[in-house]
Structure 1
């Protein structure tokens, strides 16, 4: 027996028409490269979408053309978020922080036909233009920068493209499995890989984001996604905010802490999201701004140190809430929002729960697998590789080799993260498979060790890597950045760690460095650190003892 419901496709034109009809009056603020903030409305964005649709046809772009963007978080980028998929084409956001060779590879591999670029980013993109073999047009978006426009027939302006191009019809995409957008992984090993989101996956991901135990977005919220719109579609927040009818604040190119804090305060932002390095950078100035409107802060991309989250609790009364996912998971897969069984916990106990990435969001399945593929129990002790499945989880990479090792024989995504789950299914990541330290046959979690190091009040940042050891195979080397104006000795740091971790976890070496290198998406680049210290060798006895390595 079949159900008797209407068969309507889950496609993004519904989101566009809903936003235009019901929330056209809601405001969208964008900060430019010159510091000026412009305010428009959802209705005005939708008009740009309509003009873009006509322009795409006038330029002769293919029905499934990849529409590349090389842009910051701006209102015009938001218009492209809708215009590409709602015309049946594919939005392709390119990470502006990648190396030139990677940008060339990504644009050519995706076969972008057109590239939209913020004027402030022309200096990065234009030197690569002649190597982008499939790109027919470069459209420059004004953002207050003064970069000179190239004298080239392929170069158009965004405002010029939109002139005299009305479009009054309805948008229609009949196949919900049609590609809507694509992002490439950051390519820390090998070439970046293309992840293609469907209309169905994007609509379902947006709906899940509105759930109370995810972000709980509503029409009354003001959402400021600091996480870039070129990074996994800004964690889906632009689409989710439009679906809810929330107002948006888009920070543009200025990631200066004062600029970000000013936007949060001036526009009474309620929900915001960024990687931990951003939240760290705001700490020295938190008390200088009125952030009383903020109710929810998402943090992802890497583990949130407990001390950092507690700083926000003490300063503004709101913790950093872990979200976990990756480009392949669209990206929301888990959220660490508080649950009913946390209600009677003390503040110290709550602080410990905030270190967890949390249970899976609705419609996402999660399991832990050991090296042999056997599923691990949820006892908060048995670690395994995190594997996920669901309607917005990648099932393959774009134009990729067959039999990709990132997927299990039964179709689950192998994330490369290692974690444990408690009885409630709450995930705690202990490391990446490639970042675990195997010392004397036992595993040391670099993430947990980093968090304990960063709990020291004099430590700004810390990353732990494995270094070869003649007896134990590998031992931890701590790379530590000290807070400005502070001094810290190795002995002082080890004394701090001794009651917090097992003795054999104590790092055998500590290197004080000026800064931790970052990846293009703001994560610690342990690959860079491993290259920097590839010839490092420990001198003297190890903290590890044979008895302490035994099980």
Structure 2
């Protein structure tokens, strides 16, 4: 360890811990009257938000929640969720944001594994909770959340209804100081095999992530996304990596926030219009759902800035959104990274280039944000050059990366082998620092000794005018090891078969973008492509279903 000069602080000097409560200081000072909106039902000022957070802290404390306890939340995106994201960690407890789209068995596993002591349950999930309550091993008490008048429901050890309890609680709470390395949040990420894995983040990590995210979203003129005059509406569930951490940023900045509850396309577009939303974030499949819903038909969404993450942003979606007035910007992160790792940044050289070149860089994973180190390694752990060509696994270091999987020592060691967090993504880094995600390691198609990127193929296929959605996976092939298989959703009244797809891809072969053996020899045209609980393409399930179709000689298949 390097021996550096360390001075003793002045007696009485305040050692300022980085705690989530600090994020509440500025927003209320800047804009006391700015609103936090929930659907068409609730409007709060920042002053009222602060009071409600204090009221919730009093309710939880009086119910017996102590520092170190884990408090689970089962709710749609709402002002209440925002209050929980502050109040629970601010009293020293840990907020467990439950993925309500998991199966009941998976939810049960995550709650027992996280050792939840107290659960807030939206009335929409009462039946789900009742179905697993008898198998929960650590939960002591529950609290009911309703949108309307209190309903008579049966929950084990029910403390009361959220709004009624807040109404009777004090609007003041003396939030204590404590160690900034205390765990503040936890949630579970699903993989291709085994049980969900618990990631966790400390107060210090979340504060640093919030400050870095605010600097990136508000300070980069080349892709300016968020300023104090913007109106923010998440279209990424708050249970998924804290809605990418942006509710903390919006609260820090005192921005008007709009929470849509359950994601319903008509409600989302109505809120966008009536509340004049200017900034959102989502995965590509959700944006496609919005653009294709009947309410959006003919709608000009001019002025709406949306960050796309979770899955690759392809050029076809970028151009479709641009034609409707939406500015898309790609960013990259994962559950284990809090999540922000990189975001599009167009330097002076790129801004002076062609529009086609600018688009090419806007849809990449972006440049690592401040305080993030990124590198590419080969299968032996050797670092590869940042030449934009050398492919390897993307590995990371940053102050806000999860330090492991909760109670999973072996998996944690695998995640952090060699002192770098291993993403499981195949990528390149170029001389400007741009990360280009080529595929997940498990999704790379290995054919004839070559690696094909399913993401590259999806991007090129999506440019066909008939294609609405596409997923490409590798399927076993006796001669080549694997061959690409394309699963397609086409626009109404359009048709596409494997021969037409081959004709579409031939020019890209001639230009050298892909090799001829990358052209899928089989496709399946379906009405819907399987998605994960957070709206990503579920390639594990897709591979299983394709195998079942092939075994049954399904009529869905189109073969060259």
The alignment's TM-score, normalised by the length of structure 1, stands at 0.92
User: Are the structure 2 counterparts of residues 382 and 403 from structure 1 closer, same or farther at C-alpha, using a change threshold of 3 Å?
Assistant: same
Which residue is equivalent to 1:190?
194
Which residue is equivalent to 1:528?
541
**Alignment counterpart, residue 370 of structure 2, candidates 362, 366, 376:** 362
Native 8 Å contact 2:55 2:173 kept in 1: no
Q: Does 1:56 align with 2:60?
A: yes
How far apart, CA to CA, are the structure 2 residues paired with 1:148 and 1:480? 46
Native 8 Å contact 1:90 1:182 kept in 2: yes
The aligned runs of 1:130-529 (5 Å cut-off) are 130-144=134-148, 149-150=153-154, 152-154=156-158, 156-211=160-215, 212-213=219-220, 217-253=226-262, 255-284=263-292, 286=296, 288-289=298-299, 291-294=301-304, 296-316=305-325, 318-402=326-410, 404-500=412-508, 501-529=514-542
How far apart, CA to CA, are the structure 1 residues paired with 2:121 and 2:552? 48
How far apart, CA to CA, are the structure 2 residues paired with 1:478 and 1:148? 49
How far apart, CA to CA, are the structure 1 residues paired with 2:347 and 2:176? 40
User: Are the structure 2 counterparts of residues 323 and 406 from structure 1 closer, same or farther at C-alpha, using a change threshold of 3 Å?
Assistant: farther
Which is richer in helix? 2
1:288-346 CA deviation, whole Å, 9 max, x = no partner? Answer: 4453342x210111111211111121220x43211111111000111124332211222
Native 8 Å contact 2:55 2:172 kept in 1: no
1:436-493 CA deviation, whole Å, 9 max, x = no partner? Answer: 0111111000111011111111111111111111111111111111112211122111
1:230-258 CA deviation, whole Å, 9 max, x = no partner? Answer: 000000011010111111011111x2322
Native 8 Å contact 1:369 1:387 kept in 2: yes
How far apart, CA to CA, are the structure 2 residues paired with 1:503 and 1:538? 28
User: Are the structure 2 counterparts of residues 146 and 431 from structure 1 closer, same or farther at C-alpha, using a change threshold of 3 Å?
Assistant: farther
Native 8 Å contact 1:303 1:447 kept in 2: yes
Native 8 Å contact 2:185 2:200 kept in 1: yes
How far apart, CA to CA, are the structure 1 residues paired with 2:205 and 2:239? 18
Which residue is equivalent to 1:549?
none
Aligned-pair CA distance for 1:287: 5.9
Equivalent residue of 2:233, what SS? Answer: strand
Q: Extract unaligned runs of 5+ from structure 1.
A: 544-551
The aligned runs of 1:83-94 (5 Å cut-off) are 83-94=87-98
User: Are the structure 2 counterparts of residues 385 and 148 from structure 1 closer, same or farther at C-alpha, using a change threshold of 3 Å?
Assistant: farther
1:236-285 CA deviation, whole Å, 9 max, x = no partner? Answer: 011010111111011111x2322212211211112111111111112235
Cα RMSD over matched residues? 2.2
The aligned runs of 1:7-26 (5 Å cut-off) are 7-26=15-34
How far apart, CA to CA, are the structure 1 residues paired with 2:363 and 2:167? 50
Aligned-pair CA distance for 1:405: 4.9
Q: Extract unaligned runs of 5+ from structure 2.
A: 509-513, 554-558
Native 8 Å contact 1:53 1:87 kept in 2: yes
1:371-415 CA deviation, whole Å, 9 max, x = no partner? Answer: 111111111111111111110011211111246353343321111
Which residue is equivalent to 2:106?
102
Aligned-pair CA distance for 1:369: 0.8
How far apart, CA to CA, are the structure 1 residues paired with 2:192 and 2:417? 24
How far apart, CA to CA, are the structure 1 residues paired with 2:176 and 2:149? 36
How far apart, CA to CA, are the structure 2 residues paired with 1:260 and 1:405? 41
The alignment's TM-score, normalised by the length of structure 2, stands at 0.91
Aligned-pair CA distance for 1:182: 0.9
Which residue is equivalent to 2:48?
44
Native 8 Å contact 1:387 1:414 kept in 2: yes
How far apart, CA to CA, are the structure 1 residues paired with 2:403 and 2:156? 40
Which residue is equivalent to 2:556?
none
Aligned-pair CA distance for 1:57: 1.7
